Structure 1
Amino acid sequence: MGTRTEFDQPSSDAEPNKSGQYADLHKPSSSFSSRDDYLEHELQIMAPKRWRPNLPFKDYRFEWEDTIPALAATIGKVVMVGAIAATFASQLGLGDGFILENVRYELIIVSVFILLFSGFFLPTANLAGTHGPLIPLIPIVVAAGGHPMAFGLLIGIFGLLLAVFKGGSLLASLTSRGVCGGLLLYLGFIGTTSQVKKLIAWAEGIDMAHIAFIVIFSTIILYALLEHWKKRWLAVPLSCLIGGGVAFLLGAPFEFSTGPGLPNFNPMYWWGDDTGWMLGLPTVENFVVVLPFAVLAVAMWSPDFLGHQVFQKISYPARTERVHMNIDDTMVSAATRQVAGSLMGGANFTSSWGTYMVPAAIAKRPIPAGAILTALFCVLAAVMGYPMDLAIWEPVLCVALIVGVFVPLLEAGMEMTREGKTTQSAAIVVFASSLVNPAFGWSLTMLLDNLGLIGSKERSAELSHMSRWIIPGAMFVILTTVMALVGLLPGIPALM
């Protein structure tokens, strides 16, 4: 396939970072001059095992830094699953009770798969999160006669096929630093501005517009101080505390309304004709309708997964390749979780869990320990109910996403485009993504970059014909065709 690039997946059979077992190489934090040195040493001595049990204290340890990504992930999960369930509910005429119960259900479903995959058997697989970019497509899918179970099952099946043939890591290896950096810049900027606008709109809606300015200003000062003190991994909990606390003290209305409870665990309830989704089981026609949407959803996984993996690579120290997120293993985890969740009646469409990976990378923590804590937090939030109200309150939600995900993505994108011939590719990614969406921008710019029309000519010359234009060209044509079919190309009516 040509010359390996900086984004090739580390081999599962590579030699451990240091000889010996983790339990033997572990040293107490008191033996290091700083906390950072201790955390970096922990990353360097880990040797995760694929499809074999990885046990706490034998293969990794829990640190209090693991609570930070776990908290951020739980907040993000409640918000994103709630958004998907609410979008479906509005299109299908379902009530708020459906939304609440399905979010509870999804929180418990995902906790099981987090434990099985990221916590024990695939410790380099990022948690299976929520596919946010699919939310705008849901009304189109429903209007076309799509069925949520059919949609979810096809996403899971296509994802498993891509993982088995290692298509995800192949596409990642063909993506240059400039293309990836530009993608991170675009996602970071769009995400940051959208959350700022959302918080301002919320404050204006309660006739207290000044609250948004004070909350955001306080968050900026806090983030700057944490950066100065090299404690940026504390940004999520402290920003949530300040954002929610300041808003409440300034008179913003808030009350807990979701009490303790458990969802219905019977899949037949969810897929009944007059219960749950009130849709019954899908027909062959339902599967045909959602086919192009499912192809697009899985095609959008690669840039999403790549962005999370690269952020981890940038944040971790040298000699930690063994604990880097594996794109193909993450696809196995996400696809399996998608199939099971859809069969059981959940509303979630899965992808790599960004609100977990980004804070975990900043905190210099490996995946497994924080994954187990995330599973615990998700179950607690589902059963208690009250944390769900707090997680979706705008002063908490918006600042958590800004400092925990989007600003770090901006920083990572700028870091990746500092050296070499990367700025041209980064600019084209932003340009093309603004025209359609990040999947279009990524596929088009990857093709142009690998052809040598932009970016590093030396890198392009080292690629084989397959890596240079055949695979990137096929990816661009497939994605653009599917987008044209479902009406995602601006100014062009849907071809379906």
Structure 2
Amino acid sequence: MLEAELDNNRTLPHAEDDASSYRALHKPREAFDSRADYLEHELTIMAPRRWRVNLPFRDYRFEMEDWVPAIAATIGKIVMVAAVVAAFATPLGLSDAFVIENARFEMLIAALLFVILFSGILNPTANLSGTHGPLIPLIPLIVASGGHPMAFGLMVGALGLALGAFKGGSLLTRLTSKGVCGGLLLFLGFMGVTSQIKNLFSWAEGIDMGYIAFIITLVALLMYAYLEQVKMRWLAIPLGSGLAALIAFTLGAPLEFTTEPGLPNLNPAYWWGENTGWQLGLPELHHFLAVAPFAVLAVAMWTPDFLGHRVFQELNYPKKADKVLMNVDDTMCVAAARQIVGTSLGGGQLTSSWGTYMVPAAIAKRPIPAGAILTGLLCVVAAVWGYPMDLAVWPPVLSVALIVGVFLPLLEAGLQMTREGKTYQSAGIVVFASTLVNPVFGWSLTMLLDNLGVIGDKERGQSMSRRDRWIIPSIVFVLLCGVMAAVGMFPGVPALLETFRALD
């Protein structure tokens, strides 16, 4: 019996050769009536190896559609990393040159150590580790509270690793209904579209050419509608960004390439020196205490973010493609590890699930690994070459890419999820509460009300255990409200931390 068991174990590495493996089930494009059928078949036959080596052609293939999420993710990465680093650097009095160099350093860390290695090879169901955009407005407050970028990054990584390791992410995902998910997608999509249109017009009016923003937005809208009609929405990002750049350049909008080729400083001692890099030295205990409430909030904001990305996959992938869906807990663990490593090396990034990758990948009906490798390569090229970073952050390219590639699809997905049953009730409360405070408050409050049966599908709550129905949602809601009250996120209510400091 022992010998038989050993024989079985010896055959495990060669499982790719059996009749159920991806390589055995793969069929050429010519065997299908349409390319969409071919791509859906690819999704259904893939069986990614969790925490084992996955190889091209044995476990997945590269397709032309993989360039779509790769291009979108690279554009989003350049912009968001620079925004996070700048949010830290400005109140610390650091220069624009520092922001660019640290952003390039962060892109190399993400590409070489995590995007390619983890999402492309070791665990293709872990989404790429992107940027925690919703937290950017809080960064000046973190600095003003005595926070240290390294202390904050390490604490976020430690809390995220604990949440992922103990399956907290998948638990909270399971407790969130379709109505709550749909409402979150609607809110995020609408807020994203309006903010990007506002940014585009602000840029155009700043160069006294406001009509450019109107023309670009109108052309992007017509292009998106046409791509929807011909079922080629996956082309929206490269085509939309290209048209926006062409129109803006043709009409005389200024574009300067100032970021020259080169490598950033790769020495962690430089970045965390007292007179170099961040010019802060290493953090002390009081720095960790100062950032603790913000770190809890940052990790709490992961769940609605991760949830939205997985749901978007489910809405766009065929029913039998469950093996390639994003694993929320693994994604949290990888994102947390990426946060710890990146911060330790000297980066200023705050990580989360990579939305500008996942949303276009789901639309293009592509799994994570192939596009992840292409994304990593493009990030390295952009960071080293320098000039693509200037083009990616040019407002016409950036805004159109985010509108047609991320926020409009989120709006559509939210509408699709709220068409049936009483999901619209939960969705409406999520939008209302998120507008009042933020998506974390909206998600946690509506999840509690929905599971209690106060809104939405009352039968759903009755089929749940007492722990899942109200104990866990109540704890989550109370904890998050306490953290948000401490840092002053309730409109019109003074921050408790500032109140306590004033009393001292």
**TM-score, with length taken from structure 1:** 0.96
- 1:331-480, aligned counterparts within 5 Å? 331-480=332-481
2:235 corresponds in structure 1 to 234
Distance 2:220 2:348 in 1: 33
- Shift of residue 75, structure 1, vs aligned partner: 0.2
Distance 1:478 1:378 in 2: 37
1:136 aligns with 2:152: no
Cα deviations by residue, 1:437-461 (Å, 9 ceiling, x for unpaired):
0000000000000000000011011
2:6 corresponds in structure 1 to none
Cα deviations by residue, 1:116-140 (Å, 9 ceiling, x for unpaired):
2101111100000000011011110
1:45 corresponds in structure 2 to 45
Cα deviations by residue, 1:318-374 (Å, 9 ceiling, x for unpaired):
100000001001001100000000000101000000000000000000000000000
1:76 aligns with 2:112: no
Matched to 2:180, the amino acid is V
Matched to 2:370, the amino acid is A
Cα deviations by residue, 1:204-248 (Å, 9 ceiling, x for unpaired):
000000000000000001101111111100000000000111011
Distance 1:178 1:245 in 2: 40
1:283 corresponds in structure 2 to 284
- Shift of residue 76, structure 1, vs aligned partner: 0.2
Distance 1:214 1:305 in 2: 34
Distance 2:396 2:278 in 1: 31
Cα deviations by residue, 1:253-300 (Å, 9 ceiling, x for unpaired):
112111101000000000000100000000011001001100000011
Distance 2:254 2:127 in 1: 36
1:292 aligns with 2:293: yes
- Shift of residue 87, structure 1, vs aligned partner: 1.2
- Shift of residue 96, structure 1, vs aligned partner: 1.0
2:5 corresponds in structure 1 to none
| Greater Rg by CA | 2
SS at match of 1:404: helix
1:28 corresponds in structure 2 to 28
Matched to 1:369, the amino acid is A
2:106 corresponds in structure 1 to 106
Cα deviations by residue, 1:67-101 (Å, 9 ceiling, x for unpaired):
00000000000000010111111110000110110
1:64 corresponds in structure 2 to 64
- 1:142-157, aligned counterparts within 5 Å? 142-157=143-158
Structure having the higher helix fraction is 2
1:272 corresponds in structure 2 to 273
- Shift of residue 410, structure 1, vs aligned partner: 0.1
Matched to 1:484, the amino acid is A
List 4+ stretches of structure 1 deviating above 3 A. Answer: none
Distance 1:211 1:195 in 2: 14
1:54 corresponds in structure 2 to 54
Matched to 2:60, the amino acid is Y
Cα deviations by residue, 1:444-483 (Å, 9 ceiling, x for unpaired):
0000000000000110110110010000000000000000
Matched to 2:129, the amino acid is A
1:175 corresponds in structure 2 to 176
Matched to 2:32, the amino acid is F
SS at match of 1:445: helix
- 1:307-346, aligned counterparts within 5 Å? 307-346=308-347
Distance 2:370 2:117 in 1: 12
Distance 2:462 2:50 in 1: 35
SS at match of 2:89: helix
Distance 2:128 2:334 in 1: 8
Distance 2:164 2:136 in 1: 23
Distance 2:344 2:97 in 1: 20
Distance 2:168 2:51 in 1: 20
Aligned residues: percent identity? 67
Paired positions, count: 481
1:86 aligns with 2:86: yes
Distance 1:19 1:234 in 2: 34
Distance 1:195 1:62 in 2: 32
- Shift of residue 19, structure 1, vs aligned partner: 6.0
- Shift of residue 146, structure 1, vs aligned partner: 0.3
